[in-house]
Each structure stands twice: as C-alpha cells, then as structure tokens.
Amino acid sequence: MTPMTQEIAEARHIKRDDYVSCTVAFIDCKKPGSDRKENYSIIGPGVTSSDDQVINLPEAHGFNIGAAAMPHGITNNLHIHFTAEVFIVQQGEWTFRWGSNGENEVTGRKGDIVSVPTWIFRGFTNAGPDNGWLFTILGGDNTGGVIFHPDIIREAADYGLFISSENRLIDTSRGDVVPPESERIPPMPDEDVAALRDVPREEMMTRVVAADQRDFRPAFIDQKLSEGGAEMAPVIGYGMTQNRDHAAPITNPHGFSAEWIRIAPGQSVGPFMLDEKIILIVHEGQLRIDYEDGGGASVTVNAWDTYSIPAGMFRTLSVAGDKPVEALVVLSGDHRKRPTFAPEILNAAYDAGLGLDASGFVAKASLLPTYGRAG
C-alpha cells in the first residue's frame, strides 16, 4: 500500500472551522421557532433536501456524520427516518421528543447519546440557555430522505415550500416552480400516522446512554504496557474493543457501531489497523494520529473536530497536550471489528503476561495453548 502523505492525511481532517451550516436544509426552515436552526453535513453523501448544503467529505463510509446547531428555544420539528438516527450531545441541554404528536420527552446533556428507532416521528429542541450543538449519525450511505409530520408539510406550503418526489426542497421565493401534486411528497395520511409504532418511555430509555453511565474499561492487548491502557466504553453494537467483558447497552442493528475511547496523557493505542474505515469525533482534548507506514504523516485533531482514517492502514493514537482525550469511534457494519496490532505490541504484551484468545479477546497468556496463540 502506498504510504499516507501529509496532504492526504490532512484532507481527511474536518476541523470545526471547516463545518459549513445550511439554514434551508429542510421543509420547516421558515417555520417560526425553527428558522434559526443550522444543519451540517460533515462526512458521507448527506441527508439534506437542499442543493445549498455543503458536505465536507462526501466519501461513502456506510453511514453519515452530521450536526445540528440551534440557539435556545429553537426546534427541529417532527420527522421520520428510515435508517438509524443517533444524537451525540456535544454542548447544551436538549429536549428530545417522539411519538405521533411528539407527546413523549427525554432530556439529553453533554456527553449523552440517544438512538431513536426508525419509522417513528422524532424532533428536538435546544432547552438550554446557550447555543447548543448535536453531532448526528445516520445509518447507510443512502438514508432514503425524511418524512415530515403532515402538519409541518401543510404549514410549509403557506411559506411557499414543498418537497419534490426526489426529496428536493422547492422554494417559490427563489423562483422555483412548484411540481404537480403527483411529483411532490404529500402529507402522510392521518390513518398512517395513527398506525405508527408506539415506543413507550421504558423502551426509549434503554436507547439513552448518559455520560455518567459509560462503562470505561481497559480495551486492548497493550493494557499492561507502559504506554498502553487506553479505555473504551461501548454504546452501540459490536465495536473494536478486545475486552470480553464489554457489552454495548444498545444492541439492535444500526449498520454501524459507536463506542467511546478515552486516552490519558502518556498513553497510546497502536500501531494497529482495521479492515474498516474509522471515524473519530473528538469530544474533549487533542488527539494525535500518526500513520505507521513509513510516510511520516501525522495529524492533531482538536475537540469538536472529526477525522476519517482509511481502512487497512497502521496508525497510532495518542494524546497531544496535557489533558485526556475522549472521542467517539464510529465503524461501519453490525459485525464485530477486530483490530490487528503490530507484532512488536503483541510480543511485548505476551512478555507482560497477556495474549489474545481464538476469539480475539485479551486473556492470560499462560492459559493459552501455544498452538492457539494469536498474532
């Protein structure tokens, strides 16, 4: 494989200042109380209805990373997604609502993650006193668009806004021609709204992982090494942890996994590689990524930044600075991901008494038969 160049490594780094907002992303963009929301498409083909939306890295990853920023009191109105939608609270306090009329509510704060089931109406409001920020993950390269609540579609027509059958926003104030009804998405019939699945609060709360509920544990084969010991806390599905005692609280298929990684100053992870692309959303601290392929490429990713690591490339993750790093790791697929560590890491870990069993989990080396030693 050709070594990673510094130029290409930096092109996969989307800094906070690189994010470009769109205020006309969806059909509720002129509704009072929703007209000050900002939509961001950061990684993946995107889910917006607007041709004005800028996507920082449109490369397909099997899911989409986006964001929503809203001042106090502003609402993103009720809508349906066909693929998984996950919210990561980066800043502020948010009220998430769901149900045919948004009759159910739960609060999310910094570090909380909320996964909303498909095919139910959901919306959210910035309930905090300051500007709020949510990162989002939407499953699939093609998410299928959205269905807004029929009341929102009817009201939008009063502002000259319609949605075409191709999920494009039609804005008559810009001179757009309104397609005939047969070429527009109509309001969902009331009987179909009433037939949508009811998700009781007890079920929804199993899909909320609060910051203080995260189960951080040493995650990798290098945990006894002087620079090892990084921890992970699974959130959704099978990620890349090598700790057999880890269990994600959210288990239904999403098409991707999500897990927190926490690295203290002086710790590192790697060199290691994965068969999947890695998306890192840095929540706190400064994360350094060093490519270990001879090219010498290195990138420092700050809090609020996102980064895409290509598949099949050895890299080391470490802390740049004097504060711990917390980042969300997002990987495509519902399967378990298996990191491959460099031979020098495996050998040093074995000398320290640890190996990998046949399932790829960390185990006491002395209990592993020599013929079954991984790596």
The model's pLDDT over 276-323, given as tens digits with 9 standing for 90+, comes to 999 999 999 999 999 999 899 999 999 999 999 999 999 999 999 999
Mean pLDDT of the chain: 93
Does residue 95 fall inside a structural domain? yes
pLDDT at 373: 52
The count of structural domains within the chain is: 2
pLDDT tens, position by position, 25-67: 677 778 887 788 888 999 998 777 767 788 999 999 999 999 9
Strands (E), 140-267: 146-148, 161-163, 169-171, 208-209, 217-218, 231-236, 256-263
Query: Alpha carbon 182 to chain centroid distance?
Result: 35
pLDDT at 171: 86
267 close to 319: Cβ distance less than 8 angstroms: yes
Co-location of 143 and 251 in the same domain: no
Q: 15-24, 145-154, 245-254 — which one is most confidently predicted on average?
A: 245-254
Q: What is the CA radius of gyration of the chain?
A: 22
Co-location of 28 and 106 in the same domain: yes
Tell me the average pLDDT across 356-364.
96
pLDDT at 364: 97
3-state secondary structure of 177: coil
Co-location of 236 and 310 in the same domain: yes
Does residue 289 fall inside a structural domain? yes
Tell me the average pLDDT across 120-146.
94
Q: Which of 44, 41, 47 is nearest to 60 (CA)?
A: 44
Q: Show the domain range for 311.
A: 214-372
pLDDT at 285: 98
Co-location of 73 and 11 in the same domain: yes
Domain boundary among 194, 209, 224: 209
The C-alpha atoms of residue 227 and residue 270 are separated, in whole angstroms, by 10
Co-location of 168 and 87 in the same domain: yes
Co-location of 218 and 204 in the same domain: no
The DSSP secondary-structure symbol of 182 reads G
The C-alpha atoms of residue 373 and residue 125 are separated, in whole angstroms, by 52
Does residue 24 fall inside a structural domain? yes
Does residue 365 fall inside a structural domain? yes
Q: Which residues, 6+ apart, have CB-to-CB distance to 99 below 8 Å?
A: 120, 121, 198, 199
pLDDT at 371: 61
**CATH number of the domain within which 145 lies:** 2.60.120.10
Co-location of 140 and 236 in the same domain: no
pLDDT at 175: 86
Tell me the average pLDDT across 15-24.
88
C-alpha distances (whole Å) from 221 to each of 102, 218, 270, 324 are 45, 9, 10, 20
Number of helices and strands in the chain (H, E): 5, 28
102 close to 121: Cβ distance less than 8 angstroms: yes
Co-location of 286 and 367 in the same domain: yes
The C-alpha atoms of residue 77 and residue 102 are separated, in whole angstroms, by 9
Tell me the average pLDDT across 79-97.
97
Domain boundary among 209, 230, 256: 209
Co-location of 19 and 77 in the same domain: yes
pLDDT for 134 beyond 90: yes
Tell me the average pLDDT across 101-107.
96
3-state secondary structure of 217: strand
Domain boundary among 154, 186, 209: 209
Does residue 83 fall inside a structural domain? yes
The C-alpha atoms of residue 163 and residue 79 are separated, in whole angstroms, by 13
Tell me the average pLDDT across 63-84.
94
Co-location of 25 and 109 in the same domain: yes
3-state secondary structure of 280: strand
Q: HSE on the CB side for 344, CA within 13 Å?
A: 6
Q: Which residues, 6+ apart, have CB-to-CB distance to 157 below 8 Å?
A: none
Co-location of 249 and 197 in the same domain: no
Co-location of 107 and 142 in the same domain: yes
Task: List, in sequence order, every residue forming a beta bridge with 260; answer none if it has no partner.
Answer: 233, 328
Q: HSE on the CB side for 335, CA within 13 Å?
A: 8
Q: Percentage of the chain with pLDDT > 70?
A: 98
Does residue 1 fall inside a structural domain? no
Does residue 145 fall inside a structural domain? yes
Q: Is the peptide bond before 253 cis (omega within 30 degrees of 0)?
A: no
Locate tokens 């203290």: which residue? 264
Does residue 149 fall inside a structural domain? yes
